Structure 1
Amino acid sequence: MDAVKDSMEYRYVRLVRLLVVKLGSSMKLHVRLRVWVALAATYVIVMGLVLLMQIPLRSNTLHSHYDMSAEAVMKKHNAIVKKEADKYAKAALRDSSATMEESQQIVLLTNIFKKADTNVNGLLELKELSAWISTKTKEHLTLALRENFFMFTAIDQNPRNGVVSWDEYHAYFLKQHGYSDEFISNHKHNHKGMPREIKESIMRDKAAWSEAARDKPDQLTIDEFLAFRHPESSHATILNIVEETLARLDVDGDSKLTEEEFSDPENNDVPDDMTPGEYKHERLEEFKIADEDENGKIDRREMLRYLDPRHVHHAEKDAVTLLTVADSNQDGALSLPEVLAKSSIFMASKMVDVARSFHDEF
């Protein structure tokens, strides 16, 4: 009997334990369901607030670090270039011989470098440099034409007759330098007491005026005034250069230039830094560019187009010159440090100052 009793109690205990386990399991499942429902409801509420208030879902720092979009790459590149430029600027400021002008040059060259570096690889390649110079040249020539009209109109006052006399220009020049009307009227020809740089500038202008005046030596038409102020923009000036070139080089008198006539060192001014052989080789390469119809001769029309400052070969030639001078590691491209190392050369080039470069040439 005792054995049977023990057996029944054992089965009872097992049954109770089984019920408790099942009940416990049922309760845990219920709790889990309630928790998941609560989490789901919380998620829906949070996402609703995000959409409603436009809250960013990820860190801007993380985004900028991993974002490979064009905008992000450009931002990262600009930061690197700025850091490099800041290093040079700080070094210049620490140098006791450095001036504020040098620091400003660093900032200017850095900004131009970033704009010209169109593929954003931290280097100025020949194609990029040439394209930048060509664009800046065209902008300058367009601005010169616009400026010429307004300046001519402003000077042509006494009398307003469609031409500008030397006296009108001289009075305008002195007024722009701060002189009074009374002083100007008493110093039309006498420059006594003026600073030396003002006198020299007047002398240079007088010489340029004489070259531009084709009909009457004491007055200029609007086209002649353009040749006086911006000879690089004047079609008449370029045409005169064409005629002078033909007169000097056209040996057989057919109004066209052969390869030999165009490249002959004997009839051309060979630069001091070139041998006659080097000069002839360079001119033969330029002949191929100017001879558009490839008939072996350059006529007036081709020469005019070749000498036009807008012709792309001028920009390419300037770019090659800058690359040759500044490419210290000989990799065929310019880094920002290489440009800054030759800052004085670049500041005087068409990459930075087209007007100054043209006026030095003409």
Structure 2
Amino acid sequence: MIMERSVVLCLLLAAVIAAKPADEEKKSRVHTDKLSDEEHYMNDEHNSDYDHEAFLGEDEARTFDQLTPEESKERLGKIVDKIDLNHDNFVTEEELKLWIDYTQKRYITDDVKRQWNANNPENTETLHWADYKTMVYGFMDNMDPGELDDEEEGMSYAEMLKRDQRRWEVADEDNDNALSLDEFTNFLHPEESERMRAIVVQETMEDIDKDKDGKISLEEYIGDMYHGDDDEFEPSWVSNERDQFREFRDKNNDGYLDEEEVQGWIIPPDYNHADAEAKHLIYEADNADKMLTKEEILNKYDVFVGSQATDFGEALVRHDEF
């Protein structure tokens, strides 16, 4: 379950990180870019600080790190009161699921609004591709032709531009080369739109399929997640992922993942991420009655502030929550 959530988080971040005019910031749109300076796994144990920093960014993570455990628990307690919709002093799995779903939707809404305002300062009803391209890729006008093909974190600026334009065209439902706010939302968050899911699969294939043969080998699959040195002892989770590839991902047992198999992996039809996260948190904190008291949650505050229940900690430093 941990690797499933991490893969989806990587996809989410790849799709929604702000497209910015500064070229060093633009690199962060690359799917294979490192999401955090933290190690994802340490001594075979999942490091929750990785997800925390990957989701918040370093500045917000640093702010959260300044909170004492007492301050964290106090703020988390106020959030628990909001999650407990019927005020019976118990947080059920359904209430937790609804809260996680709410925080996710709020993040998307806030992110789209921020990027819409940044890229559409006149607040017109639609944003034209030419204007967006100038805002995001204008720096390329001052680059030498050879520099456009220089790879940054595995992808050249020219490739990034091409990918964004292709995604833009898919999001543009009425084919007017401009996006409404709803279409812009699909452009930034394609994983949330049925219409855009094929482009998510295509981009994932392109990022992981290093030899460009149209399929993903086991080596490419593992290489996208783990880059250990030759003399480094391989963590146990890597072996588990090899088994996942062979037993579950590779449906036709041909040793590769095709587009249909990749879609089943990254966008499983019967998998609800909010539901899975709620179950995970109940498992971590519950005393076996499948409901959580405020005391149980506060006793596991370190688990909750690193989860979607608090925007991976962000809700604890947002003043508008209190």
| Common fold by TM > 0.5 | no
Give the number of the structure whose alpha-carbon radius of gyration is greater: 1
Higher percent of residues as helix: 1
With normalisation by structure 2, the TM-score equals: 0.40
With normalisation by structure 1, the TM-score equals: 0.37
